[in-house]
Structure 1
Amino acid sequence: MLAPTLIPGPLAAAEAGVAPATIRKWVQLGRLAPAGKAGRAQLFRLEDVFAAERSARPRTAPATLRG
């Protein structure tokens, strides 16, 4: 089994369509945990970043069917 690819915060932010500060805020709030470090840089699994992004989205009411 392959090890997951770890990416730095700024790249993770770009992939998720958010600002790097948002990634840092998610870590601070406990919504996202770094999967590793490279020097001082935190590294993340992309699937974890996407999961945090999905959980941060506002929930919308389901559309009703009109007939």
Structure 2
Amino acid sequence: MNADRKEKDPTLVCTCNDLFINDIQESINFGETEYREIFAVHGLQPRCGECVDHVSDILNGK
């Protein structure tokens, strides 16, 4: 995870894959509810796992 990049853009959730909040919301609207599924919709795979909690928060509407 690149904390500097994430700090500069609060909509950036996963710095390893350049996955943003709107990408995750798009996946949720598509019907995805699981961490790995959200990445798969965008042709990505989780890498370091630092974004798990942030993705979970978005999934839970936090």
Q: Please, what TM-score do these two structures have when normalized by structure 1?
A: 0.33
Greater strand percent: which structure?
1
Structure (1/2) with the larger helix percentage:
2
Question: Which TM-score applies when normalising by structure 2?
Answer: 0.35
Structure with the greater alpha carbon radius of gyration: 1
